[in-house]
Amino acid sequence: PAAAASTKAPAAAPAPTTAAASAQAPEAKLGSQLMGKLEGPVIVSDPAQFPKSFKEAPQLADMVKAGKLPPVEKRLPAPEDLMVLKPLNETGKYGGTWRRAFTGPGDGENGNRLVSTDKILFWDYTGAKRAPSVAKSWKVSDDGRTTTIYLRKAMRWSDGEPFTADDFMFWYQEIYQNKDLVPTPTPELDVNGKQGKMEKVDDYTIAFKFDDPNFLFEDILAGSTLIGGGQAARQSNPASFFGAYTPAHYIKQFLPKFTPVDELNKKAKDAGFDSWKSFLRFKLDWQLNTELPVVGPWKTTSPINTPNWTLERNPYYWAVDTEGNQLPYIDKIALTLAQDLEVLNLRAISGEYDEQERHTGMVKLPVFLQNQDKSGYKVHLDPALNGADCALHVVQGYTGDPEISGLLMNKDFRHALSLGIDRDQLNETFWLGTGTPGSIAPAEPSLYSPGPEYRKLWCTYDAKQANDLLNKVGLTQKDSEGYRQRKDGKGRLRIELATVGGQFIPFTQVAEMIKEQWKKIGIQADVKEMERTLAFTRSQNDELQIMLWANDGSEMLYLFPRHALPVDPTEAHMGAAYAKWFASNGQQGKKPEDPEMLKAMGL
């Protein structure tokens, strides 16, 4: 099988999308020439065009003949409630294993994107139009106070049990409202500081009700959010109790309301967990628990904490193509552990993967192109306009060193560090010139763009201005090597740049180049690479100073704000204590001192 090493293009990279455009712009960068046009399948919404008969994978047909599965008609939702997809180019063929790479237990998003149709709502392939998913349809009341979700009748979990409104109400009543599990409710259900409510209308209808208008909520249900994210929303701690629904028939056995707590704690300890709560968290994790019923197209059969993370088709998946073939086409997904990106890329080049769009960095593009004919794969670049592939998240909640903490809170100091970065050099080295150097302000096509001048504001290389600002904040003393000294007299000022190895961007190498650039303004940077889980744990405790990570979401600030403002406790690299304060309406965490941050949070 052909291996395709697709990479995500850097933020707002302008690119010709047709042969004609390429001909008009021969000077376009190599990466830009590989950008294609955005395409995707069509969701068929007219029941009159739905298929009347159905087919299934040979693997499942054999199980039906053996009496191990009901016929395909009995495994699909009611005929009028099917999800019907018109394939982009042609009808797929059943069977086969999709070979792919992952980088360890912290690489859960690698699988989330494969099963993410388990979300309540979705977006069409353009990302501009809301689309049905687990819900067949939805309605927002004229006053914006009620969003009603209509489920697919006769839809089932992967173990064949009915999927109904009771699975939503079980999550809401037994998990979300259980203070032992969710002490801090999510802001995604808040309007003006007041939590909304979930109510059952009938077996296949759920209503979210709010005291005030909430026209944003349908976007929250469609977005990459804790409420709308489906079972994948439980990927990280403590987000693992969110997701808006859960298989009640399976999960209730792990809750004290239905099983004595002493018995639960004994089961937890026997399984290697410290309490029933951590045991429940494990049982809810689709990437670890092979017994967990799911509604996505594939389910885990070998967990993510092994060298071979394996997913196999869900025989009760609720979508078909226009010819009545039950989806998915592919039998199995086999993700093989790659110790580092070099191993991953060598395997990709040798043709060991069938499709891989995660972890294949732009810096390897020339090598990928050089070997694609020999190894029989094709390279594509996906256009992207959101946020930044690599940003410096300044941890303003850091308290480990009072002097460093004070500097990180100082806007002039932050501006100086930014002005000391030569982004053009980074772009040419790591993105082959295809990126757009600058700030993370929303791109100009976005509704939220403050104007083109914000792209370069405080984000162009200016060593003189950077040095002037550092002098202004009192860092005037230097040692014999030209590095600035701490103001408290305790020697050289050192700023830690935390990076995560084995990721989609070579964060450590980017940080090393920034370290060299900061020498010119007298700043000593210490680059510290960590495994992802450790880095995120330290970030949750505000133990980092500056973390290099992606910055997605500035274009969709109200749906994915965690990288732009510290408001989501599950991932708040700018200050986890601030995020806890925001999410708990001031009941936990620490109130930010910066009035501009408070103003932004208020908005």
Which residue would you say has higher pLDDT here, 37 or 594? 594
- C-alpha triplet 102, 105, 106: angle, nearest 5°: 90
Give the pLDDT confidence of 97-156 residue by residue, as tens digits.
Answer: 999 999 888 888 889 889 999 999 998 887 778 999 999 999 999 999 999 999 999 999
- C-alpha triplet 574, 597, 193: angle, nearest 5°: 100
In which band, very low, low, confident or very high, does the pLDDT at 27 lie, cut at 50, 70 and 90?
low
| pLDDT in the model for residue 234 | 66
How far apart are the C-alpha atoms of 48 and 368, rounded to whole Å? Answer: 46
| pLDDT in the model for residue 146 | 98
| pLDDT in the model for residue 448 | 80
| pLDDT in the model for residue 385 | 59
How far apart are the C-alpha atoms of 390 and 287, rounded to whole Å? Answer: 27
Give the pLDDT confidence of 224-281 residue by residue, as tens digits.
Answer: 888 998 988 765 544 568 889 999 999 999 999 999 999 999 999 999 999 999 999 9
| pLDDT in the model for residue 36 | 72
- What's the rounded mean pLDDT across residues 365-374? 89
How far apart are the C-alpha atoms of 437 and 445, rounded to whole Å? Answer: 17
| pLDDT in the model for residue 32 | 61
Give the pLDDT confidence of 312-332 residue by residue, as tens digits.
Answer: 999 999 999 999 999 999 999
In which band, very low, low, confident or very high, does the pLDDT at 447 lie, cut at 50, 70 and 90?
confident
Share of the chain above pLDDT 90, in %: 70
Question: Mean pLDDT in the chain?
Answer: 89
Kindly provide the residue ranges of all beta strands, DSSP E only, lying in 425-564, ordered along the sequence.
494-500, 524-530, 546-551
In which band, very low, low, confident or very high, does the pLDDT at 35 lie, cut at 50, 70 and 90?
confident
- pLDDT of 63 strictly over 70: yes
How far apart are the C-alpha atoms of 18 and 16, rounded to whole Å? Answer: 6
- What's the rounded mean pLDDT across residues 69-89? 96
- What's the rounded mean pLDDT across residues 426-442? 88
| pLDDT in the model for residue 31 | 56
In which band, very low, low, confident or very high, does the pLDDT at 193 lie, cut at 50, 70 and 90?
confident
- pLDDT of 19 strictly over 60: no
Minimum mean pLDDT range among 138-147, 210-219, 358-367, 482-491: 358-367
Closest listed residue to residue 188, CA positions, set 226, 152, 224 = 226
In which band, very low, low, confident or very high, does the pLDDT at 28 lie, cut at 50, 70 and 90?
low
Helix runs in 292-422, H state only: 341-349, 365-375, 402-408, 411-419
Which residue would you say has higher pLDDT here, 19 or 499? 499
Give the pLDDT confidence of 344-361 residue by residue, as tens digits.
Answer: 889 999 989 999 887 766
- What's the rounded mean pLDDT across residues 390-395? 95
Number of other CB atoms surrounding residue 534 within 10 Å: 12
- pLDDT of 214 strictly over 80: yes
- pLDDT of 22 strictly over 70: no
Closest listed residue to residue 187, CA positions, set 442, 558, 539 = 558
| pLDDT in the model for residue 20 | 34
- What's the rounded mean pLDDT across residues 473-484? 97
Note whether 63 and 315 are within 8 A (CB). Answer: yes
| pLDDT in the model for residue 383 | 65
In which band, very low, low, confident or very high, does the pLDDT at 29 lie, cut at 50, 70 and 90?
low
Count Cβ atoms within 10 A of the Cβ of residue 546 and give its class: 0-12 exposed, 13-18 middle, 19 or more buried.
Answer: buried
Give the pLDDT confidence of 168-179 residue by residue, as tens digits.
Answer: 999 999 999 999
| pLDDT in the model for residue 557 | 77
| Residue-wise burial string across 578-587, b where 16 or more C-beta atoms lie within 10 A, e elsewhere | bbbbbbeeee
Minimum mean pLDDT range among 161-175, 324-338, 434-448: 434-448
Note whether 548 and 513 are within 8 A (CB). Answer: no
